[in-house]
Amino acid sequence: MTELLDQPAAEDVEPSPYRLVDCDVHPIMKGGMGDLRPYLSKAAQRRLGLDERRRLTTAGHREAVSIPRNLLYVNQAGVLRDDARAPDGSAPGADPAFTARQLLDGNGIDRAVLIGGEVLGLGALPDPDAAAVIASAYNDWLAQTWLAADDRYRGTLVVGAQDPALAAREIRRAGQDERFVAVLLPLTNILMGERHYYPIYEAAAELGLPVTVHPNSGEGIFRTSPPMAGGTPTYYVEWHTGLSQVFQANVISLVCHGVFERFPNLKVVVTEGGIGWIPDVVWRLDKNVKGLRDEVPWITRLPSEYVADHVRFTTQPLPEPKRRSHLHALLEVARADRTLMFSSDYPHWDFDEPLHVLTALPPATRERVKARNAIETYGDRL
Amino acid sequence: MTELLDQPAAEDVEPSPYRLVDCDVHPIMKGGMGDLRPYLSKAAQRRLGLDERRRLTTAGHREAVSIPRNLLYVNQAGVLRDDARAPDGSAPGADPAFTARQLLDGNGIDRAVLIGGEVLGLGALPDPDAAAVIASAYNDWLAQTWLAADDRYRGTLVVGAQDPALAAREIRRAGQDERFVAVLLPLTNILMGERHYYPIYEAAAELGLPVTVHPNSGEGIFRTSPPMAGGTPTYYVEWHTGLSQVFQANVISLVCHGVFERFPNLKVVVTEGGIGWIPDVVWRLDKNVKGLRDEVPWITRLPSEYVADHVRFTTQPLPEPKRRSHLHALLEVARADRTLMFSSDYPHWDFDEPLHVLTALPPATRERVKARNAIETYGDRL
Across the interface, of B194, B230, B287, the residue whose CB is closest to A249 is B230
Phi, psi of A22 (to 5 degrees): -100, 115
Subunit contact B252:A238, Cβ cutoff 8 A:
yes
Give the model's pLDDT for residue B5: 44
Alpha helices in A312-370 (DSSP H): 324-333, 336-339, 354-359, 363-367
Short-list A258, A271, A249, A232, CA closest to A189? A249
Across the interface, of B76, B236, B284, the residue whose CB is closest to A276 is B284
Distance CA B91, CA B95 (A): 8
Give the model's pLDDT for residue A227: 75
In this complex, is the C-beta atom of A274 within 8 Å of any C-beta atom belonging to chain B? Answer: yes
Question: Going residue by residue through chain A (382 aa), what tens digit of pLDDT does each one get?
Answer: 344 444 444 455 567 899 999 999 999 998 888 899 999 999 998 888 777 655 554 444 455 566 776 666 767 667 777 888 888 888 888 999 999 999 999 999 999 999 988 898 888 887 889 999 999 999 999 999 999 999 999 999 999 998 999 999 999 999 999 999 999 999 888 899 999 999 999 999 999 999 999 987 666 555 556 777 878 888 889 989 999 999 999 999 999 999 999 999 999 999 999 999 999 999 999 999 998 888 899 999 999 999 999 999 999 999 999 999 999 999 999 999 999 999 999 988 777 788 778 999 999 999 999 999 999 999 999 9
Distance CA B65, CA B363 (A): 48
DSSP string, A56-67: ---TT-S-S---
Q: Where are the beta strands (DSSP E) in chain B?
A: 21-25, 111-114, 153-158, 180-184, 211-213, 268-270, 311-314, 340-341
DSSP string, B279-322: HHHHHHHHHHHHHTGGG-TT--S-HHHHHHHHEEEE-SSPP--S
Subunit contact A238:B219, Cβ cutoff 8 A:
no
So what's the ipTM on this one? Answer: 0.80
Question: How would you class B326 by CB atoms within 10 Å of its CB: exposed for 0-12, middle for 13-18, buried for 19 or more?
Answer: middle
Maximal C-alpha separation, chain B: 67
Distance CA B131, CA A213 (A): 41
* Chain A residues with beta carbon closer than 8 angstroms to that of B289: 237
Short-list B36, B34, B21, B272, CA closest to B143? B36
Subunit contact B230:A250, Cβ cutoff 8 A:
yes
* Chain A residues with beta carbon closer than 8 angstroms to that of B329: 325-326, 329-330
Short-list B63, B65, B184, CA closest to B127? B65
Beta-bridge partner residues of A124: none
Short-list B257, B364, B375, B376, CA closest to B306? B257
Give the model's pLDDT for residue B223: 55
| Dihedral sign, Cα of residue A174, residue A177, residue A179, residue A182 | positive
In this complex, is the C-beta atom of A250 within 8 Å of any C-beta atom belonging to chain B? Answer: yes
Decide: helix, strand or coil at residue A351.
coil
Q: Where are the beta strands (DSSP E) in A104-220?
A: 111-114, 153-158, 180-184, 211-213
In angstroms, the Cα distances linking A108 to A21, A105, A317 are 9, 5, 20
Give the model's pLDDT for residue B6: 46
Beta-bridge partner residues of A313: A270, A340
Which residue ranges form the domains of chain B, and what is each CATH number? 18-29+59-381 (3.20.20.140)
Higher-confidence position of A89 and B270? B270
- pLDDT digits 0-9 by tens, B107-125: 999 999 999 888 988 888 8
Give the model's pLDDT for residue A46: 83
Subunit contact A75:B292, Cβ cutoff 8 A:
yes
In this complex, is the C-beta atom of A257 within 8 Å of any C-beta atom belonging to chain B? Answer: yes
Subunit contact A323:B332, Cβ cutoff 8 A:
yes
Across the interface, of A220, A235, A280, the residue whose CB is closest to B274 is A280
Subunit contact B229:A219, Cβ cutoff 8 A:
yes
Mean of the per-residue pLDDT values of chain B: 88
| Local confidence band at B63 (pLDDT 50, 70, 90 cut-offs) | low
Give the model's pLDDT for residue B235: 87
Subunit contact A295:B240, Cβ cutoff 8 A:
no
> Which DSSP letter does residue B341 get?
E
- pLDDT digits 0-9 by tens, B143-194: 999 999 999 999 999 999 989 999 999 999 999 999 999 999 998 888 999 9
Subunit contact B235:A350, Cβ cutoff 8 A:
no
Distance CA A272, CA B277 (A): 17
Across the interface, of B189, B237, B276, the residue whose CB is closest to A280 is B276
In angstroms, the Cα distances linking B362 to A277, B242, B357 are 23, 27, 11
In angstroms, the Cα distances linking B206 to A130, B77, B176 are 56, 42, 12
In this complex, is the C-beta atom of B226 within 8 Å of any C-beta atom belonging to chain A? Answer: yes
Q: Average pLDDT, stretch B64-78?
A: 67
Give the model's pLDDT for residue A85: 85
Given a cut of 80, whether residue B225 has pLDDT beyond it is no
In this complex, is the C-beta atom of A253 within 8 Å of any C-beta atom belonging to chain B? Answer: yes
Distance CA B63, CA B32 (A): 9
Distance CA A259, CA B19 (A): 47
Q: What is the enclosing helix (H) or strand (E) of B329?
A: helix B324-333
Separation in Å, CA of B275 to nearest CA in chain A: 8
Decide: helix, strand or coil at residue A153.
strand
- Helix-helix angle B164-174:B198-207, to 10 degrees: 10
* Chain B residues with beta carbon closer than 8 angstroms to that of A291: 77, 349-350
In this complex, is the C-beta atom of B276 within 8 Å of any C-beta atom belonging to chain A? Answer: yes
* Calculated CA dihedral for residues B119, B123, B127, B133, nearest 10 degrees: 40
Across the interface, of A229, A287, A292, the residue whose CB is closest to B236 is A292
Asked if B46 and B58 touch (Cβ cutoff 8 Å), the reply is no
Asked if A374 and A341 touch (Cβ cutoff 8 Å), the reply is yes
Separation in Å, CA of B379 to nearest CA in chain A: 29
Across the interface, of B76, B276, B333, the residue whose CB is closest to A326 is B333
How far, rounded to the nearest angstrom, does the alpha carbon of residue A178 sit from its chain's CA centroid? 18
Separation in Å, CA of B259 to nearest CA in chain A: 13
Distance CA B191, CA B247 (A): 10
Choose the mutation target among B238, B244, B285, B299 for the interface with A, i.e. most A CBs under 10 Å: B238
| Half-sphere exposure at residue A312, Cβ-oriented, CA atoms within 13 angstroms | 27
In this complex, is the C-beta atom of A220 within 8 Å of any C-beta atom belonging to chain B? Answer: yes
* Chain A residues with beta carbon closer than 8 angstroms to that of B284: 240-241, 244, 274, 276, 317, 319
Residues 279-338 of A with CB under 8 A from B: 279-281, 283-289, 291-292, 294-296, 317, 319-321, 323, 325-326, 329-330, 332-333
Distance CA A379, CA A210 (A): 10
Separation in Å, CA of B75 to nearest CA in chain A: 8
Separation in Å, CA of B205 to nearest CA in chain A: 23
Short-list A249, A311, A318, A248, CA closest to A277? A248
Asked if A218 and A124 touch (Cβ cutoff 8 Å), the reply is yes
Asked if B229 and A246 touch (Cβ cutoff 8 Å), the reply is yes
Helix, strand, coil percentages in chain A from 3-state DSSP, rounded to 5: 45, 10, 45
Distance CA B103, CA B109 (A): 7
Give the model's pLDDT for residue B118: 86
Subunit contact B76:A295, Cβ cutoff 8 A:
yes
